[in-house]
Structure 1
């Protein structure tokens, strides 16, 4: 009889834990998570005329392999990123986006536009 009671308590505990796990919220994802191909074009200044990079958005945070980049993409697609001392902002919508950036090359100000598309 004691053995059945222990088994009942054990089974009830397992069911309670399983229920709690299924009720817990899943991994928070941003609607913009994934890989993005970004083209940066200089409109003024002496920075590199054009560059292309692949950035990763995970849980709304922007990163790139081997790059000094930090930033976020809001749930509404608002972009705010800092990379190598340059700053970019703009808007993503669906699988595309665009915006402006500014920075400096050898102390000389540069600025331009960027465009992104989800890969």
Structure 2
């Protein structure tokens, strides 16, 4: 998986946010600027990177552009589950966001067969 594909994994951390059915918490509470660090613990992917993510109206975007396909959500509870792809590379991301931070894990199949963890911090 390329560095760019890992950046996409960060989008999922804040991915297309939709409220969980029946949840009284709004995913819009996660709106803002986030700094996300991705750490590879297994495989041949780049060791670690930090990326900027912007969430507006519950929707997330990579601050550096939109070269990825992101399919996922942050529920009102903060639960994160998503798949991010670019070309033939894809990452599955799970975790949780809270009011000012978040964390979880990610993994890929195929060429790099990489896995690791991610940490997010609200910046604004």
User: TM-score if structure 2 supplies the norm length?
Assistant: 0.65
Summarize the alignment of residues 23-34 of structure 1 with structure 2, pairs less than 5 Å apart: 30-34=28-32
> How many angstroms does 1:38 deviate by?
0.4
Structure showing greater radius of gyration is 1
- Indicate the residue corresponding to 1:39 in structure 2: 37
Query: How far does the alpha carbon of each residue in 1:60-117 deviate from its partner, in whole angstroms, 9 at most, with x for none?
Result: 222212341523211111112333311211001110010000015x713000000000
Separation (CA, whole Å) in 2 of partners of 1:88 and 1:36: 16
Q: Secondary structure at the match of 1:108?
A: coil
The residue aligned with 1:76 is 77
Q: Provide the residue aligned with 1:89 in structure 2.
A: 94
Instruction: Judge conservation of contact 1:60–1:74 (CA < 8 Å) in 2.
Output: no
| Contact 2:36 2:121 survives alignment (8 Å) | yes
Residues 1:109 and 2:113 aligned together: yes
TM-score (norm 1): 0.67
In the aligned structure 2, how far is the partner of 1:29 from the partner of 1:110? 29
Q: How many residues are matched?
A: 91
C-alpha distance 91-75 of structure 1, shift in aligned 2 (>3 A): same
If asked which structure has higher relative contact order (CA below 8 Å, sep 6+), I would say 2
| CA RMSD after TM alignment | 1.9
More helix by share: 1
CA distance in 1, matches of 2:27, 2:78: 13
